[in-house]
Amino acid sequence: MAGTVVDVLNAEVALLRSKLESGELQSVDLVAAYLKQINKHNAELKALISVAPEETVLSRAGHLDEERKTNGARGPFHDILVIVKDTVLTEASLGMDTTCGTFGLIGAKGRKNADVVELLLKAGMIILGKANLSELNLFKVSPPNTAGWSSAGGYTPVGLSSGRVVAVAAGFVPLALGAETDGSLVQPASRAGLYALKPTSGTVSVKGIFVLPTYDAIGPIARTAKDVADMLMLLLTGDTNFNHHNHHESMKVSSWNGLRVGFVDYGTWAPAPFVVEPAESFTSQTKADIEAVAARILSLGGKVVRDVPLPSFGQVTEIIKQKHNVNPDDLWGYGFRDEFDAFVSLYETGTSQIRSLAELVQFNKDHADRCLPADHPSQPFLETALEEKANDPEMDTKVAKVKKEAQALIDEVLAKYEVDVILAQSDGRMASVAATAGYAVAALPVRYASDFNRRAWGFNAIVGADGEGKLLDLMSAREATFPDARKVPPKPVEE
């Protein structure tokens, strides 16, 4: 029914799906509502680097509406809108560039879509835009290096590669996808009161995405655990018509019975000052909230183990340095030059003026006013990456040792304390520990601060090998028994 109002700040996929199935909504209604929200607020929020042309997405929406009437829905994501991180290749027909946040790549379009884009389109989804990020996934600069800035898209307000999170929280789309190396999904999601999940490295195809495949994985961000679960099911199985009703029943945990949850010691995992500005009132509230959550889980039948001694990222780093003479931080960017050169070769001929990392480094120097401004004046990582050895077997060995050691540290604690998952405050770099091991990690909202800009905060949860199911159980139980974890802010909707 054209003209139906869509509550863009609250609408979850399950509700939109129900309205689409009943005929109360049409796809063109959704596109119009979300584009209106984007047009109002993206200039200020800078969540999206590019937005799909209105004519293109309305045309696709119309075709999908007709297809639903004639043949029925393709599956649970038919007509649902999504945005992807601007490291995900999209071909010219979708009308959006793929810049990786880099000014020199504005105008660049893929010869083919990334595998995940093909999957989204096959499922009947509409890709509405490309999300802003820290330029080149933050692999460019040294201090000052404010996370969340890109020469193509400017600043996003949450930092990290947070355009996707800002877009969902601000009602630009109900769902977002993108890759994470170390926290760019789960940390900003926690600060926006959203759910997110980075699956085990290597479980979802990253072909056609600018990533560092040793550590990166692509995962969903959404307002509800159910929506994260559905999108993860699509990504992991490639089945566009899975039975989401049965899937929801299988993961619908309305109590904590049978769940074994560990909580780390807050002091050991306290966020560093460069991650969160110290504020005693916020720290005190966070500690009290953690204890309240643990007590509530116990009262609802769950098992809780407090002060589980999972090594912090700093401790993991020291253990690995002492045992293997390797610093995990030195491995994050391994293979960057070769991955970048391979990625830009996937652009449509004539759409990109950059064909190698060496050309990008020179382009940035030639356009320093835009690419190397006063607050981001250098590109030392890129310059160092130019000298990196190709296919370095020594580095491959180091990566394997580091990953194996990190996995052993996590597995030992999970087994010794007989817990399924371990929780830490989201700014404590649990995502870094998970990334070092290649294990899955999730974000769960907790509450909003009473002061400290009333910012949201939440937990990050880590599991062992193939632990995505446990994370979904945890997220589902959290959503069912703490329904007030996420609230809609007073802006940016205008009356």
- Whether 13-251 and 260-330+398-479 share one fold: the answer is yes
Per-residue pLDDT tens over the stretch 117-159 = 999 999 999 999 999 999 998 888 755 456 778 999 988 765 5
Break the chain into its structural domains and give their ranges. Answer: 13-251, 260-330+398-479
Q: What is the CATH number of domain 260-330+398-479?
A: 3.90.1300.10
Q: How do residues 469-491 score in pLDDT, each as one tens digit?
A: 999 999 999 988 886 666 665 55
SS3 for 83?
strand
Are 196 and 170 in contact, with CB atoms under 8 Å apart? no
How many angstroms separate the CA atoms of 352 and 347, rounded? 7
Q: How far is 102 from 133, CA to CA, in rounded Å?
A: 10
The pTM of the full predicted model, rounded to 2 decimals, is 0.93
Which tokens go with 414?
A: 């999970």
Sheet hosting strand 175-180, strand order edge to edge: 48-51, 126-131, 81-85, 175-180, 217-222, 195-198, 441-448, 456-462, 421-425, 260-264, 303-308
Q: pLDDT digits over 422-481, tens only?
A: 999 998 899 999 999 999 999 999 988 777 777 888 999 999 999 999 999 999 999 888
Contacts of 493 (CB under 8 A, 6+ apart): 8, 9, 37, 171
Is domain 13-251 classified as CATH 3.30.70.2660?
Answer: no
HSE-CB for 202 with a 13 A CA cutoff: 6
Report the 3 state secondary structure along 87-156: CECCEHHHCCCCCCCCHHHCCCCECCCCHHHHHHHHCCCEEEEEECCCHHHHCCCCCCCCCCEECCCEEC
Residue segments in the chain with a per-residue pLDDT below the cut of 70: 1-4, 142-146, 157-161, 243-254, 483-495
Name the burial class of residue 375, with classes exposed (0-12), middle (13-18) and buried (19+) by CB atoms within 10 angstroms of its CB.
Answer: exposed
